[in-house]
């Protein structure tokens, strides 16, 4: 049984029901994709899972612990095992690249300066960044920021890696490179990776297990093989329209 699963997650903002009871079991040490059109509730779901938004109902299990009912110590322990790549990269403007990547280590470990330096160099090399350690986020391109964000997310060797729209706003080539990096990091670090995206092209690289959300509802669950090997007519209408609109599944 997977150690990460969500059960009947519901969230309402005012009169609008954004998540209508979503349940899903994530594949461990694989890339799990949550796809759907913009505004369907993907980002709200991922934010509920990492504790940034409190859902109205439902359970979020990390192992046997329900995150919503966890004690502060249990929550801290879960969050220590969790890395997140944000849509805007969310790098700290006042810190250099190396300070950004080293930040979680300084907070949560008693590592020496040389250990921190080595780990930061390793993580930056791992995401293909060289010679940018002393630059500030404002001096980096969008793709480079995303890579630094990824390096920071993996610096503590997390068990779970959450990526919120990792390639939005990037040119197609850089976007594919980021997808490949996420795939490689999942393999090398054995992380349970959850990627939220509306970019259907990411499915060509990522996505061992897929959850399709439409209008706050889980419309389809399956694997990439099932998605690619199946006739479009066999899919729910909403997924069919989404796939057709992407142009990849005519």
Partner 1 sequence: MLKPLIQAFEAVGTYVLLLRRTFTGLLKWRLYWQLWTQEFIIIGRDSIFLVAIIAFFVGAVTTVQTAYQLVSPFIPKSTIGAIVSTSSILELAPTITSLVLAGRVGSNIASQIGSMRVSEQIDALEVMGINSATYLILPKLIAGLIAFPVLVIYSCAISHLGGIAAGAFTGSVNPTQFSIGARSFFEDFQVVFMLIKAITFGFIIITVSSYQGYYVRGGALEVGAASTKAVVVSSLMILIADYVLAQLLL
Nearest to 1 by CA among 30, 28, 24: 28
**Between 45 and 91, CB nearer to partner 1:** 91
CA distances from 22 to 7, 87, 214, 219 (A): 6, 22, 11, 9
Beta bridge partners of residue 93, listed in sequence order: none
Q: Which is nearer to partner 1, 75 or 176 (CB)?
A: 75
- Identity of the residue, 162 or 212, whose beta carbon is nearer to partner 1 in the bound complex: 162
Min dist. Cβ of residue 176 to partner 1 (A): 23
> At closest approach, how far in Å is the CB of 13 from partner 1?
12
Binding site for partner 1 (CB under 8 A): 47, 50-52, 75-76, 79-80, 82, 84, 86-88, 90-93, 103-104, 106-108, 162
What's the closest the beta carbon of residue 91 comes to partner 1, in angstroms?
8
Would you say 112 or 231 has its CB closer to partner 1? 112
CB of 131 to partner 1, least distance (A): 24
For residues 158 and 150, what is the distance between their CA atoms, to the nearest angstrom? Answer: 11
Q: Is the four-CA dihedral 72, 73, 77, 78 of positive or negative sign? A: negative
- Asked if 158 and 191 count as a contact pair (C-beta separation under 8 A), the reply is yes
Determine the Cα–Cα distance for residues 2 and 5; give it in Å rounded to an integer. Answer: 7
């Amino acid at each position: 049984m997977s150690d990460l699963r969500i059960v009947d997650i519901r969230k309402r903002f005012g009169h609008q029901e954004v998540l209508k009871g979503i349940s899903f079991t994530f594949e461990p040490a694989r890339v799990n994709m949550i796809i759907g059109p913009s505004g369907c509730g993907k980002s709200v779901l991922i934010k509920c899972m990492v504790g940034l938004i409190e859902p109205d109902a439902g359970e979020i299990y990390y192992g046997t612990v329900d995150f919503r009912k966890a004690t502060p110590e249990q929550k801290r322990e879960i969050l220590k095992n969790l890395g997140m790549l944000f849509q805007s990269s969310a790098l700290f403007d006042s810190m250099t690249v190396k300070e950004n990547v080293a930040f979680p280590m300084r907070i949560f470990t008693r590592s020496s300066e040389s250990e921190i330096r080595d780990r930061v160099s390793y993580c930056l090399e791992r995401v293909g960044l060289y010679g940018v350690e002393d630059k500030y986020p404002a001096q980096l391109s969008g793709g480079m920021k995303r890579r630094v964000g990824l390096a920071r997310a993996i610096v503590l060797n997390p068990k779970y890696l959450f990526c919120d729209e990792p390639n939005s706003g990037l040119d197609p080539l850089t976007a594919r490179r980021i997808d490949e990096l996420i795939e490689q990091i999942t393999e090398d670090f054995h992380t349970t990776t959850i990627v939220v995206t509306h970019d259907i092209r990411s499915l060509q690289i990522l996505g061992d297990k897929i959850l399709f959300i439409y209008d706050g509802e889980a419309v389809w669950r399956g694997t990439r093989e099932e998605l690619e090997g199946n006739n479009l007519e066999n899919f729910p209408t909403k997924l069919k329209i989404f796939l057709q609109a992407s142009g990849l599944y005519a």
